[in-house]
């Protein structure tokens, strides 16, 4: 079972329970899975943004779930094939338009599209007990993030069942020959202020459906811009 399958089950449970017992919806309005993330934006020689590469490191509880059906070897490690199968399962689920790999890139109000994700790595750190995956998303049509029309990127779970936060050290990098002189700016929302300003309707069961955008309230926005050509 992938974490996207878990999300769908949990969202349904929260919505149903909220309908039965008044006042319980806020209990569902917080993450149950936590991810530390690093993102790399790859550029071609002509300053076109062509690839988004994502690395996720899951919390210990989800990590334990992810490997629960696998057996360790004598050194306490899992078979690479087993770890790779978890990565594949999650990417197969995340390609669904309902999730779109949890990634949204926009330019001039238009949503940019991705091709099929490319799995890169899957690992399990036996010391920390954390499972990690990385994958790349090729843009269907590479674009130049201009000063007047930058690319805005957000990576988040729309249901907010999963909290996806950038790591503190080097959260975002730019790579490729065309990344020279391009800039990145991160806008991290103030979660405490957001909670205090949300209307009561934000805690109704309906707002936990994927696509309702509840998680967008807490998503960090990365703004990418390159010099004029």
Biggest alpha carbon–alpha carbon distance for the chain: 59
Residue 203's alpha-carbon distances to 161, 193, 196, 206, 208, in angstroms, are: 13, 16, 12, 8, 8
Q: How many angstroms separate the CA atoms of 38 and 176, rounded? A: 17
How confident is residue 40, by pLDDT bands cut at 50, 70 and 90?
very high
Query: What is the structure's pLDDT at 227?
Result: 84
| Strand 151-155 with 162-166, pairing | unpaired
Q: Which two tokens stand for residue 132?
A: 């990690």
Query: What is the structure's pLDDT at 216?
Result: 85
The pLDDT tens digits of the residues spanning 58-102 come to 999 999 999 999 999 999 899 999 999 999 999 999 998 888 899
The pLDDT tens digits of the residues spanning 5-24 come to 655 544 433 433 333 334 44
Which of the 8 DSSP states describes residue 214? G
Coil, strand, or helix at residue 30?
Answer: coil
Q: How many angstroms separate the CA atoms of 187 and 108, rounded? A: 18
DSSP string, 121-157: EEEEETTTTEEEEEEEEEEEEEE---SSS-EEEEE--
Of 25-39, 64-78, 103-117, 210-224, least confident by mean pLDDT is: 25-39
Q: Which residue has the tokens 């909290």?
A: 163
| Strand 49-58 with 130-143, pairing | antiparallel
Coil, strand, or helix at residue 63?
Answer: helix
> Alpha helix (H) ranges present in the chain?
3-20, 25-28, 60-66, 80-94, 191-197
Residue 144's alpha-carbon distances to 110, 124, 186, 223, in angstroms, are: 14, 36, 18, 12
């Amino acid at each position: 079972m992938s974490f996207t399958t878990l999300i769908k089950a949990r969202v349904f449970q929260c919505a149903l329970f909220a309908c039965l017992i008044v006042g319980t919806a806020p209990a569902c309005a917080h993450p149950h899975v936590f991810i530390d993330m690093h993102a790399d934006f790859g550029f071609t020689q002509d300053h076109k943004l062509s690839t988004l590469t994502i690395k996720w490191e899951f919390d210990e509880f989800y990590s334990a779930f992810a490997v629960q059906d696998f057996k360790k070897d004598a050194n306490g490690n899992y078979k690479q094939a087993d770890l790779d199968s978890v990565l594949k399962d999650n990417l197969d689920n995340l390609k669904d338009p309902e999730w779109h790999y949890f990634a949204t890139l926009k330019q001039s109000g238009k949503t940019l599209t991705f091709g099929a994700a490319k799995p890169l790595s899957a690992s399990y750190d036996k010391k920390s007990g954390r499972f990690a995956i990385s994958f790349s998303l090729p843009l269907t049509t590479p674009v130049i993030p201009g000063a007047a029309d930058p690319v805005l990127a957000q990576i988040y779970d729309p249901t907010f069942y999963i909290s996806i936060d950038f790591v503190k050290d080097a959260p975002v990098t730019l790579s490729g020959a065309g990344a020279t002189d391009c800039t990145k700016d991160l806008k991290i929302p103030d979660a405490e202020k957001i909670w205090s300003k949300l209307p009561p309707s934000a805690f109704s069961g309906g707002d936990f459906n994927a696509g309702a955008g509840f998680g967008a309230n807490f998503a960090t926005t990365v703004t990418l811009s390159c010099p004029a050509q």
